[in-house]
A and B are shown apart, each in its own frame.
Chain A
């Protein structure tokens, strides 16, 4: 029980810190928008091509944005050395991770929801017919990105060159999320139901595997 109540308190702290300034959310939204527009300049796709490649580009933009957005996650705690107080305050250090990764998932999902209409217009894709599935894929994908990203941002925060290090550690690790989410998203726009179930199950497996790993090894990441 204490895990859940601790997590709830820490989560409200994470959300309050962010919604006071909304710095992360606004910068990430603008970043994704810029990347999406630059992509279409770089490859200048036709209508068919943009439907085919759009989801991959969207997910790539999300991954890039996440690798920037997850930076301050543990760095913020370092500036006033609040991490040691957090660790003293909670009985299970996993609740710190859980709160941070839920907060990160919420931030990512919010940015994605804000971006979806723009994406639909610029890349000319029908997002409404399979909207609930799309939300599920976005949720599972963002959860996977946040779980792995939160763990790695705890690592990169303790190293030099951390701004460059986090994307380097995170992006290769997220290859499965990128491959599967992009494929499933394409299949949603093209109405191929075959890929959908298997892909969503795979994303769930990825999330569960990394959540378990974080649960097992998370406390060592926060050692002094």
Chain B
């Protein structure tokens, strides 16, 4: 319990510090101006969301292998947190795009594949609501989670190669890309903050799922008597 409180406090403090850094420390971008500061949340949340889905994928693999319900709890917790992160990305994206590109949405590779990613994990959570028996639900959703995760790179490259003019990524892109050093520091600090926040939310959601499983178990015991 104390550990969870400490983790939560650290995560919230980091997010507040990241917000301060994004608004007051990072230099103003030359062409986009103020709106560019949304980048520190938009991209950092995207990274955290992708990491969270990777955790979900690992949990799914481990569940299929070990059949320990704890991996199922971790799977559903990380899928939900990841979905929340990607929802934030899909909302902050258009807010940033509208003043800069003049449109809310474009069917570009990263936008489109993020949207497909979001849809895949919505299906994952939907599937979970439609299977009643806990072990079956855990196994089927874990297998779908595995299929969904290996589909993500295929979605990304199919759209990138056949549907867009693929602009160079800004971070870890080719030559000519890159960030101002202060911007980059602020950005990686935001990435850290968002990962901590995601970790905190996953832990909380995991504890909730564990309690849910215990209550289900007790309810069935009572019913059986």
**Interface positions of A (Cβ within 8 A of B):** 148, 151-152, 155, 158-161, 165, 168-169, 172-173, 175-176, 179-180, 183, 195, 198-199, 202, 205-206, 209-210, 213, 217, 220-221, 223
Judge whether A176 and B140 touch: CB under 8 Å. no
Number of interface residues of B (CB under 8 A): 28
Q: Mark B155-188, 1 if CB is under 8 A from A, else 0.
A: 1011101110000000000000000000000000
State how many angstroms separate the Cβ of B125 from the closest Cβ of chain A. Answer: 11
Judge whether B159 and A179 touch: CB under 8 Å. yes
- Interface CB pairs A-B, < 8 A, 19: A152-B144, A152-B147, A155-B127, A155-B143, A159-B130, A159-B131, A159-B140, A160-B132, A168-B123, A169-B127, A173-B147, A175-B151, A179-B159, A198-B161, A209-B150, A213-B150, A217-B64, A217-B143, A220-B139
Interchain pairs with CB closer than 8 A, number? 80
Q: Tell whether B32 is near chain A: CB-to-CB under 8 Å.
A: no
Judge whether A179 and B158 touch: CB under 8 Å. yes
Q: In terms of DSSP, what is the predominant structure of the interface of chain A?
A: helix
Alpha-carbon distance A1/B161, docked complex (angstroms): 39
Judge whether A176 and B155 touch: CB under 8 Å. yes
Judge whether B150 and A172 touch: CB under 8 Å. no
Q: Tell whether B62 is near chain A: CB-to-CB under 8 Å.
A: no
**Interface positions of B (Cβ within 8 A of A):** 64, 116, 119-120, 123, 126-127, 130-132, 136, 139-140, 143-144, 146-148, 150-151, 154-155, 157-159, 161-163
